[in-house]
Amino acid sequence: MIKKIIHGFLESELIKIESKNIKEASYKLGEAMKEENKLLLEKYLKGMDNGQKERVIQFAIIKLDQLKEWSENDIFLIGNENRLKKYLDGFEGYCRGSELSEEEGAFLQIEVKPECQTVFVQKENGEIGFIHSEEEGNNAFDENHYGYKWVEMNLPNKEVSFFAYPGLCSWGPAFGINETSGTVQTVDDLYIGDNFDSGALWATAMSFITLDIGNIGLIKELVGRLNNIEGNKFAGGYAIHMASVAEIPEMISVEFALGQIQITEPVKSGSRRIVAQANCPLSKEISPYSIASFPKGDQLWSEDDAELFVEMKNRQERLLKIGQEEGFPALTPEKTIDTGLKILANPWGDVGRVMDKNTGTYRYYPSGLPSNVMNSHFVGNIDSAN
């Protein structure tokens, strides 16, 4: 049984949906977020001439068509359901509910760029504590475009709760709970040095699929299938983290970038296993291409690149330190949640300091939790199924 406390949302920001299928449920969600979606679309297209608008919409159409083409592949058939087709059914319903064309809906999926940070910590007894900071640099300081919701969606044989952004058509891309399987999921944007086709659009689809499956064993099977595909170009820069209730609770982290899908192993610290992600890839195959990696060959760092490297390194180390400290997870689930909330609320937790050697003055910068672009947070504790 999953117990949850939802705090800080207005009544108008809580959406409860009961429907017979995902298309109908997503229609209702799109209808509830119609005004926010229209404002967001207007904001993104503002200032573009007709030629620019045509190009960005055409790009979205191409990426959506790729999803539709891949949905015919049995590779996404998990548990007698084609999960990618299910996502596209939800996407269609959401667009109709929001009175958006599919092209406009696909454009919004590509343009929304959450950031986020995650810490999962598993103790020797299997218990898992987690902290997730949901961040969005695009609209963090724009009160006119605040439109986040908490959604509880009940379908036949499935109940999913999730944090919803304007523009994003489904559960998954931020954080959510598959209440039926007892699985929590968080998603982090990864900062990669190159541009990758379909990254953001595939992030919404893939994170929907994994939360819909809600079973770590089946997700490992799906990753294995996808990695057997040659020329896999749909994986953009994002990481999915999951933890599930079991006799011994399970967790998994998967990075998608560079046409690769990599399951990342937790860091071992004493008897603890720690996942700490701060927007930079952790797998050895992908991390060299992070925007916070060392220069390659004869390249030199710019001042901005060097500063970014230091800031992201400090942020990563801070998240790892949270996982190494004995206070989290705590002795009881209630104490774990209380400790996690205090970590997120620490006014000095996100501040690093560097001295200018020429002037002797100090400059301060973000280095961990909380973040000044945080719009929500997710803290929890997972016990064994017993």
Tell me the per-residue pLDDT of 247-276, one tens digit each, with 9 for 90 and over. Answer: 889 999 999 887 789 999 899 999 999 999
**Is position 87 within any domain?**
no
Characterize 346-366 residue by residue with b for buried, 16 or more Cβ atoms within 10 angstroms of its Cβ, and e for exposed: eeebbebeeeeeeeeeeeeeb
- Residue 175, domain member (yes or no): yes
Q: Answer yes or no: is 28 within a domain.
A: no
Residue type, 176: G
pTM to 2 decimal places: 0.89
**For residue 248, is it within any domain?**
yes
Domain-embedded: residue 17: no
**DSSP state letters, 202-231:** HHHHHHHHHHHH--HHHHHHHHHHHHTSTT
pLDDT (0 to 100) of residue 156 = 95
Q: How many domains does the chain have?
A: 1
76, part of any domain: no
Q: What are 132-166's pLDDT values in tens digits?
A: 988 876 655 555 557 889 999 999 999 999 999 88
pLDDT tens per residue, range 71-80: 998 999 999 9
Low-confidence spans in the chain with pLDDT less than 50: none
Q: Which residue range forms the structural domain that includes residue 287?
A: 114-382
CATH number of the structural domain spanning residue 227: 3.60.20
5 inside domain: no
- Give a yes or no: residue 315 inside a domain: yes
